[in-house]
Amino acid sequence: MRHADVTHLVMRIMRRIKFHLVIVVIAPIAMIASTTTASDFASAVLSYVPGSNPASGFTNPLVALGPPERMTGEGFTPGAVTPFHPCFSNDEIVSIGAGGQLTLAFDPPLRNQPNNPFGIDFIVFGNSFFTDAAYPTGTVAALAWDGGTIQVSADGITWVTVANTLADGLFPTMGSVDAAPYSPTVGAIATDPNKPVDPSWTAATLAGKSFAELVEIYAGSAGGAGVDLATVGLTEVIAVRILVPSGIHPNVEIDSVARVRSTGSAADIDHNGFVDGADLAAVLSAFGTDSPAADINQSGLVDGSDLAAVLAGWTI
């Protein structure tokens, strides 16, 4: 793009910015409901080895595709999925016994996205749960979990183990914002399976929390074990593996694996929560270079598309 064309585009952007500033002042704020698509979850089962002690009848790996369950036990003892009442049917979870593994593919690949909430890039949902210190109030006593090692691969050949995160551990799934701890029906307000819980919380710091406090802590998230690909030094991965070591180990149940969708804009280059003049300046100063910070669409070149992204995402 010629310098004159860039100048013209910037002038158009600045005119549009003024227009957007007016709109921000006079337009009402609208709540946008979260929706999911097939690409938000694992796309295929690459392999499944049941291991030595999977739960009988829970060996269909295809149930790990798609979103985590919100309702469980239909036709038997139905109930909402909450941190105190996990999913338990054989059409909802797949069991991995000792020495076994489940490998799931992602298309498009999972990417390391620093703009994601807490930097987390994907979430594993098992069927862990909290025991209740004051049944049926839903007061956190302890975490009931089975573990499971998480591995990731950029090529399907070399696997890297994710440290300090259990597949079936924190945070137990919450299917609805408005369902009681042991509700027989699903709530009307669904949680977001592509949004992680703040990982600074631990089982110890959650102990004693009421159900209402848990809802506030989850902040609309469906829970699950979050993984930041930066911790394993990979920029993207095409597959996630859950495995259980050989020997004496409990079986591990998996419900779903979901990618995290950023709640912010990639055009927020300085990560201040707004797309503004500072982001525009960053793109202009890097225009024509391959600066990764200002290359919003990751095309390999900072160009007019990146300027347009700033305009499209302008917030103040």
3-state DSSP of 92-150: CCEEECCCCEEEEEEEEEEECCCCCHHHCCEEEEECCEEEECCCCCCCEEEEECCEEEE
What are the helix (H) ranges across 244-291? Answer: 277-285
Position of tokens 């690459």? 46
The letter for the amino acid at 90 is N
DSSP state string for 1-54? --HHHHHHHHHHHHHHHHHHHHHHHHSPP--------GGGB--EEEEEE--SSP
- Taking alpha carbons only, the member of 228, 229, 223, 201 closest to residue 67 is 223
pLDDT tens column, 107-138: 999 999 888 999 999 999 999 999 999 999 99
Per cent of the chain over pLDDT 90 is: 73
Average pLDDT, the chain: 88
Token pair for residue 292? 């990764």
- Taking alpha carbons only, the member of 174, 128, 121 closest to residue 148 is 128
What are the helix (H) ranges across the chain? Answer: 3-26, 203-206, 211-218, 277-285, 304-313
Taking residues 38-45, report their average pLDDT: 92
* pLDDT attached to residue 207: 98
Please tell me the distance from the alpha carbon of residue 261 to that of residue 116, in angstroms, as a whole number: 7
Angle of helix 277-285 relative to helix 3-26, nearest 10 degrees?
170
Residues listed for the chain:
316
pLDDT tens column, 194-224: 999 999 999 999 999 999 999 999 999 999 9
Q: Does 30 score more than 60 pLDDT?
A: no
* pLDDT attached to residue 27: 31
Position of tokens 């338990």? 88
Q: In this structure, are residues 46 and 238 in contact, taking their beta carbons and an 8 Å threshold?
A: no
From the DSSP assignment, how many helices (H) and strands (E) are in the chain? Answer: 5, 13
pLDDT tens column, 71-95: 999 998 999 999 999 999 999 999 9
Please tell me the distance from the alpha carbon of residue 212 to that of residue 5, in angstroms, as a whole number: 55
Q: Does 37 score more than 80 pLDDT?
A: no
Strand, helix or coil for residue 83: coil
Of the CA atoms within 13 Å of residue 152, those in its CB half-sphere come to 29
